[in-house]
Structure 1
Amino acid sequence: MTDDKRINQMREQLPEPTLRRLPWYLAYVRLLLDAGVEYVSSTQIAKEINVDASMIAKDLSFLNIKGKTRIGYEVASLVHELQDFLGFKVGHNAVMIGVGSLGGALIHDSGLANYGLRIVAGFDIRHDVVGTTLCGIPIYDISELDQRLATLNAEIGVIAVPIDHAQEVSDLLVKAGIKALWNFTPFRITAPQDVVIQNTSIYAQLAVMYNRMGKQM
């Protein structure tokens, strides 16, 4: 079995809660790698990121990553395996739809490239931004989406538009051939089943935080 087939098979079997925790582990062991640490135990990881050690060991076992008795996991190998599995080493081109305060901030976030996401163009309707560049990224009129996507080789559309335009923009992206939508609006967009949707509403997260704060008061 090739490495790609093996990784795809593991992805199909991986529970989503585990998938959501793996980037936490990667972020921490990257710090260890930068600090020159060679080995780390699940107990050490658990202490730093507040996740049960047995859960960490179980999560990593889904990737066939096993630590050595009384030594732990080899940090460099763990970073490599997690990056490979999560797809962070493979570059994915994306277009930013809406380059206002949030969209502009995402374009400015050079850290996204460390996780395999390259925003290669922005699209908007405002005359004051269309035709300009932001961090070297060209901003086009949304009416040019079909035409531009043909040469941008982008497969992901990042959506940060006003809520009343969220579905309209999603439909345009799908029609243009985009395979995944990263939605930052609070509107629950819909798309064909073969299009991946990831909703990341900061407003929903605020609501959860405020609610939990209220329960503690």
Structure 2
Amino acid sequence: MVRDNIPENAAVRLSLYLRHLRKMKKDKVISSEELAEFIRTSGARVRKDLSFFGQFGTTGKGYVVGELEDTISKILGLDQVWTVALVGAGKLGMALLEYSGFKESGFHIRIAFDVDQSKIGEKLVGVPVYHPYQMPKEIRQQEINMGLIAVPAEAAQESADLLIISGIRAILNFASATLIVPSYVKLMQVDLTSQLEIMAYFLSHTREEKILTKRPKWR
């Protein structure tokens, strides 16, 4: 039985576990320690993460890869198809439309929205493009579950507002803007510039290491 108040980081790690399980043979048995090595954590952490969702594996033996993969997929809701709306069909939006990994994991971008008149009414990578003001009608008609925002920062909040009034309760924001959403909306931020700035900080404040001459231990 799934417990209440499960840490978000535990759900994030489940996704990482699943990514590695998919690369392995289904009938292989893997220990929590082996699974932990993939994401640089501990076997105890793996066991605790899984314990939030019930009992898995055999004590002293481990987990059958295929069974654990199926279980984690169900926990993450990946045993069903999720429909997605994209707001912003510029260069970043096009990259998202062309990314095959979404569909492979059960996320289908069904519709896109953009203010560019040359794109409205057309199909991009097989996905129809509408004006943002058509969002409430199209999202409800096509029963969209999630929204992706890939617009300039100044248009991000309005895009989020339109998604929310259209009934969307889960948004992944790629715009470099801090959005304000109601508490019942799950908002996740992917700010590539911010991540690069963080890396620049660490590079600027880390002493230069010796050049590697041998195969690194972490590989």
Q: Into which bin does the TM-score normalised by the smaller protein fall?
A: 0.7 to 0.9
* 1:107–1:135 contact (8 Å) kept in structure 2: yes
Percent identical:
30
Deviations 1:132-154 (A, max 9, x none): 21221111122322232232111
Confirm or deny: 8 A CA contact 2:85 2:144 kept in the other structure: yes
How does the TM-score come out when normalised to structure 2? 0.87
Distance 1:193 1:49, change over 3 A: closer
Q: Which residue of 1 aligns with 2:14?
A: 22
Match of 1:3 in 2: none
Q: What SS does the aligned partner of 1:147 have?
A: helix
Alignment of 1:173-188 (within 5 A): 173-188=163-178
Counterpart of 1:188 in structure 2: which amino acid?
T
Rounded to whole Å, the distance in 1 between the matches of 2:79 and 2:199 is 32
- In the alignment, the residues of structure 2 paired with residue 207 and residue 88 of structure 1 have an alpha-carbon distance, to the nearest angstrom, of 33
Q: Secondary structure at the match of 2:16?
A: helix
1:111-168 CA distance string (max 9 Å, x none)? 1123332110110011222222122111112232223223211121211100001111
Q: Secondary structure at the match of 1:50?
A: coil
2:148 is paired with a residue whose SS is strand
Letter in structure 1 aligned against 2:189: N
Match of 2:117 among 117, 123, 127: 127
Hey, which of these two has a bigger chunk of helix by percent? 1
1:32 partner letter: M
Within the candidate set 75, 79, 103, 1:85 is matched to 75
* Cα pair distance change 1:142/1:61, threshold 3 Å: same
User: Taking structure 1 as the reference length, what is the TM-score of the superposition?
Assistant: 0.88
1:66 to 1:150, Cα distance in 2 relative to 1, 3 A = closer
Q: Return the offset for 1:213.
A: 2.2
Q: What amino acid sits opposite 1:76 in the alignment?
A: G
State whether residues 89 and 115 of structure 1, in contact with CA within 8 Å, keep that contact through their aligned partners in structure 2: no
**Structure 1 counterpart of 2:152, from 162, 169, 187:** 162
Count of paired positions: 207
The residue type paired with residue 203 of structure 1 is: T
Q: Aligned equivalents of 1:86 and 1:65: distance in 2? A: 16
Structure 1 window deviating more from structure 2 (20-29 vs 108-117): it is 108-117
Over the aligned positions, Cα root-mean-square deviation in angstroms equals: 1.7
Q: Which runs of 5+ in 2 are unaligned?
A: 208-219
1:131 match: secondary structure? coil
Query: Which of 10, 15, 40 is the aligned partner of 1:50?
Result: 40
Structure 2 equivalent of residue 38 of structure 1:
28
CA contact (8 A) 1:96 1:160 kept: yes
Report how far residue 37 of structure 1 moved.
4.5
Give the 5 Å matches for 1:54-203: 54-203=44-193
